[in-house]
A and B are shown apart, each in its own frame.
Chain A
Amino acid sequence: MNELLNFLPRRFRSFFYIRSVQRDNITGRERGISLNRKILIVEDDANISKIIKLNLNLVHFDTVEAYGGHEALEAIRGHKFDLILLDVMIPGIDGFELMESIRPLGIPVIFLTAKNSVVDKVRGLKAGAEDYIVKPFEALELLARIETVLRRFGREETLLEFKDLQVFLDRREARVRGRPVDLTVKEFELLVALLKNKNIALSREQLLDKVWGIAFYGETRTVDMHIKSLRKKLDLYEHIKTVYKIGYRLED
Chain B
Amino acid sequence: MKLWQKIYLFSILPFLLLFHLASVLIIERNHSKLLQQEIEATLRENRSIRSAIEAIVPFLSVYRSPDYERTVWTNIGNEFAAKSGDRAAYLRMEEEPDRTAFSNVDFPLPTIWTKLQAPGKDEIRYGLSDVGDRTILFTASSVEVNRKKIRIGYMKDVTPVYAERVEQYRFFVQVDIAACLLYLVLMMIISKALTKPIERMARTAKVIAQGEFSRRVELRSKDEIGHLADHFNRMVAVVEDKINELEILNLQKQRFIHDFTHELKTPLTSIIGFSSFLRVTKYQEEAFADGLNVIYAEAKRLESLALKMMDLIFIREENLVMKRENLKAVLDEAEPVLAMKAEERRIRLAIDGGDCWMPMDTDLMKVLIFNLVDNAIKASSEQGLVAIRVHSEGGRRILEVADRGMGIALEHLDSIFEPFYVSDKARTRQYNGAGLGLSICQSVARIHKGTIEVVSEVNVGTTVKVVFEVAERDEVKV
CB closest chain-A residue, reference B297: A47
B426 lies within 8 A of A50 (CB): no
Within 8 A of B (CB), among A32-69: 44-45, 47-48, 50-52, 54-55, 58, 68
For B254-279 the 0/1 string (1 means CB < 8 A from A) is 00001001100110111111101101
Whether A114 sits at the interface, judged by CB under 8 Å, is yes
B428 and A138: CB pair below 8 A? Answer: no
Q: Are B273 and A52 in contact (CB under 8 A)?
A: yes
A78 within 8 A of B: no
What's the minimum C-beta distance from B298 to chain A, rounded to whole angstroms?
6
Pick the interface stretch among B172-180, B280-288, B313-321: B280-288
Q: Interface centre among A47, A68, A92, A201, by most B CB within 10 Å?
A: A47
Beta-carbon contact of B426 and A58 below 8 Å: no
Is chain A's interface secondary structure helix, strand, loop, or mixed overall? Answer: loop
| Complex interface: chain A residues within 8 A of B258 (CB) | 115
Scan B396-437; emit 1 where CB is below 8 A from any A CB, else 0.
000000000000000000000000000011111100000000
B271 to chain A, nearest CB (A): 8
**Is the pair B282, A114 in contact by a Cβ cutoff of 8 Å?**
no
Contacts of B274 in A (CB 8 A): 47, 51
- Bound form: Cα–Cα A51–B291 in Å: 9
Known: A48-B266, A54-B287, A89-B262. A136 touches B279 (CB 8 A): no
**What residues on A are CB-neighbors of B265 within 8 Å?**
114, 135-136
Query: A246 near B: Cβ within 8 Å?
Result: yes
Do B273 and A89 touch (CB < 8 A)? no
Is A48 touching B273 in the complex (CB atoms < 8 A)?
yes
CB of B294 within 8 Å of the partner chain = yes
* Distance in angstroms between the alpha carbons of A251 and B265 in the assembled complex: 31
Residues in A neighbouring B270, C-beta threshold 8 A: 45, 47-48, 51
Q: Across the interface, name the chain A residue whose C-beta is closest to B295.
A: A47
- Structural contact, B424 and A91, CB atoms closer than 8 A: yes
Q: Does A200 contact B (CB under 8 A)?
A: yes
Instruction: Kindly provide the distance from the CB of B125 to the nearest chain A CB, expressed in whole angstroms.
Output: 108
**B426 and A94 contacting across the interface, CB-CB below 8 Å:** yes
Taking a contact as CB atoms closer than 8 A, the residue among B261, B273, B277, B428 that contacts A44 in the complex is: B428
Residues of A within 8 A of B272 (CB): 136-138
A26 within 8 Å of B (CB atoms): no
Docked-complex contact A136 and B280, CB < 8 angstroms:
no
**In the bound complex, do residue A201 and residue B279 qualify as a contact, i.e. CB atoms below 8 Å apart?**
yes
CB–CB A91/B279 < 8 A: no
The reply on A234 being an interface residue by CB < 8 A is: no
- B273 interface neighbour in A51, A199, A251, Cβ under 8 Å: A51
Residues of A within 8 A of B424 (CB): 91
Most chain-A CB neighbours within 10 Å: which of B266, B297, B425? Answer: B266
Q: Which residues of A contact B273 (CB under 8 A)?
A: 47-48, 51-52, 55, 136-137, 139
Interface residues of B in 199-231 (CB under 8 A from A): none
CB–CB B262/A251 < 8 A: no
* B268 and A135 contact, CB distance less than 8 A: yes
Q: Find out whether the CB atom of B269 lies under 8 angstroms from the CB atom of A136.
A: yes
Indicate with 1 or 0, residue by residue over B129-157, a CB within 8 angstroms of chain A CB atoms. 00000000000000000000000000000
B426: which of A55, A90, A139 is its contact (CB, 8 Å)?
A90
A108-156 contacts to B, CB under 8 A, are 114-116, 135-139
Contacts of B425 in A (CB 8 A): 89, 94
- Cβ of A202: which chain B residues have Cβ within 8 Å of it? 280
Partner of B266, one of A58, A91, A114, A201: A114
Name the A residues within 8 Å of B262 (CB-CB).
89, 114-115
- Residues B294 and A139 in contact, CB atoms below 8 Å apart: no
Task: Report the minimum CB–CB distance from A182 to chain B (whole Å).
Answer: 30
**Considering the complex, which residues of chain A in the window 66-84 have a beta carbon less than 8 Å from any beta carbon of chain B?**
68
A159 at the interface (CB under 8 A from B): no
Nearest chain B CB to A112's CB is how many angstroms away?
9
What residues on A are CB-neighbors of B290 within 8 Å? 50
Please report the C-alpha to C-alpha distance between residue A94 and residue B424 in the assembled complex, in whole angstroms. Answer: 12
* B269 / chain A contacts, CB cutoff of 8 Å: 45, 48, 51, 114, 135-137
Question: Roughly how many angstroms separate A94 CA and B426 CA in the complex, as a whole number?
Answer: 8
Report Cα–Cα, A241/B261, bound state, in Å.
Answer: 38
- Please name the residue on chain A nearest to B427 by beta carbon: A89
**Counting CB contacts under 8 A, is A181 at the interface?**
no
Residue among A45, A50, A51, A55 with max Cβ neighbours from chain B (10 Å): A51
Instruction: Determine whether the beta carbon of A246 is less than 8 Å from that of B261.
Output: no
B270 to chain A, nearest CB (A): 4
A47-B428 in contact (CB<8A): no
Please give the distance in Å from A186's CB to the nearest CB on chain B: 22
Q: Which residue of B lies closest to A54 (CB)?
A: B277
CA distance A44 to B246 in the complex (A): 33
Contact indicator A201/B428 (Cβ below 8 Å)? no
> Footprint of B on A, CB under 8 Å?
44-45, 47-48, 50-52, 54-55, 58, 68, 89-92, 94, 114-116, 135-139, 199-202, 241, 243, 246, 249, 251
10 contacts across the A-B interface (CB closer than 8 A) = A51-B273, A89-B262, A94-B425, A115-B261, A136-B265, A136-B272, A137-B269, A139-B277, A201-B281, A246-B280
